[in-house]
Amino acid sequence: VALYKSVPTRLLSRAWGRLNQVELPTWLRKPVYSLYIWTFGVNMKEAAVEDLHHYRNLSEFFRRKLKPQARPVCCLHSVISPSDGKILNFGQVKNCEVEQVKGVTYSLESFLGPRICTEELHFTQAPPGNSFQQQLVTKQGNELYHCVIYLAPGDYHCFHSPTDWRVSHRRHFPGSLMSVNPGVARWIKELFCHNERVVLTGDWKHGFFSLTAVGATNVGSIRIYFDQDLHTNSPRYSKGSYNDFSFISNNNKEGIPMRKGEHLGEFNLGSTIVLIFEAPKDFKFHLKAGQKIRFGEALGSL
């Protein structure tokens, strides 16, 4: 593990990112993309543009858009999957720890960082709890839930809003870019806390809601469409540092309203989405660990 952590994954990811942006000759595009499609099982029939010659470089191909009808958004359930991927874990948050894969946990506070000033959030402040987890729960009788979705290299790389909510704050943690493949996640404790990530926090009708995009090897680029100030995988950073940005201002008291299914951001290869949110005790997930899921399908509801 120590040897793997010493690999310069950020530098390698930046080099890979630049290689991805090199324009390929037209004659080379089809064989290169066809090899990728075969290796990772990409379904190009779902792509908005099926013609491989259309994609000038690997980066454009990774970030391909889908046909509108390819991912219908479930209207019956309150929380949908924000992306294509594989369900690694889900359930109630217990003892201020969250499972990244079965049996391997990470600290909730290390992952999200210190609690954000409640003045930025639209819900009423709960009495101070004994733990970080209790402080996030703003309404009596509610629980804190989590869901981890792993995006493989062959998956659709855009992610969307999982519910109707308001984004009030962004916290960017520069960090390592180790692989988040489930096999690696099993032997590196707190992997998600080591890796670069972008934490979006705000509120939905039941209280606290957050979506975190976790970077990985060759995924130095995490893009949030409404956040032009966000720049990930910069050459210099201090270990354990983070920077905050508030979407609440004198001109904008509401933050960024997001509708369920609305485009939110994209990765440049494949990575992980972690949802941590507050909901009443009768919230139920409609999932099985290890199952494949597609953007728009139900995660859970009341």
Identify the bridge partners of residue 152 per DSSP, sorted by sequence position. Answer: none
| pLDDT for 122 beyond 60 | no
Structure confidence by residue, pLDDT tens digits, 22-69:
899 999 999 999 999 999 899 999 999 999 999 998 888 888 899 988
C-alpha span between 286 and 269 (Å, rounded) = 27
Among 160, 169, 194, 206, the active-site one is 160
Kindly state the average pLDDT of the residues 73-89.
Answer: 92
Report the chain's mean pLDDT, rounded to a whole number. Answer: 84
Among 84, 155, 203, 227, the active-site one is 84
Can you give the pLDDT at residue 168? Answer: 94
Can you give the pLDDT at residue 263? Answer: 94
> Is residue 271 annotated as part of the catalytic site, yes or no?
yes
Residues in the chain: 302
Buried b vs exposed e over 124-161: b needs ≥16 C-beta within 10 Å? eebeeeeebbebbbbeeebbbbbbbbbbbbbbbbbbbb
C-alpha span between 239 and 235 (Å, rounded) = 12
Tell me the pTM: 0.88
Higher pLDDT, 213 or 12: 213
For 86-149, the DSSP string reads: EEEEEEE-BTTEEEEETTEEEEHHHHH-SPPPGGGSSSPPPPP-SSHHHHH--STTEEEEEEEE
Structure confidence by residue, pLDDT tens digits, 129-164:
567 888 888 888 899 999 999 998 888 889 999 999
Can you give the pLDDT at residue 119? Answer: 45
Among 83, 210, 221, 271, the active-site one is 271
Residue of 133, 138, 62, 177 whose CA lies nearest to 276: 133
Can you give the pLDDT at residue 94? Answer: 87
C-alpha span between 149 and 90 (Å, rounded) = 9
> Is residue 83 annotated as part of the catalytic site, yes or no?
no
> Is residue 238 annotated as part of the catalytic site, yes or no?
no
Kindly state the average pLDDT of the residues 180-188.
Answer: 70
Q: Any idea which of 87-91, 114-118, 188-192, 292-296 has the lowest mean pLDDT?
A: 114-118
Structure confidence by residue, pLDDT tens digits, 156-171:
889 999 999 999 999 9
Can you give the pLDDT at residue 16? Answer: 67
SS3 160: strand
Structure confidence by residue, pLDDT tens digits, 49-61:
999 999 998 888 8
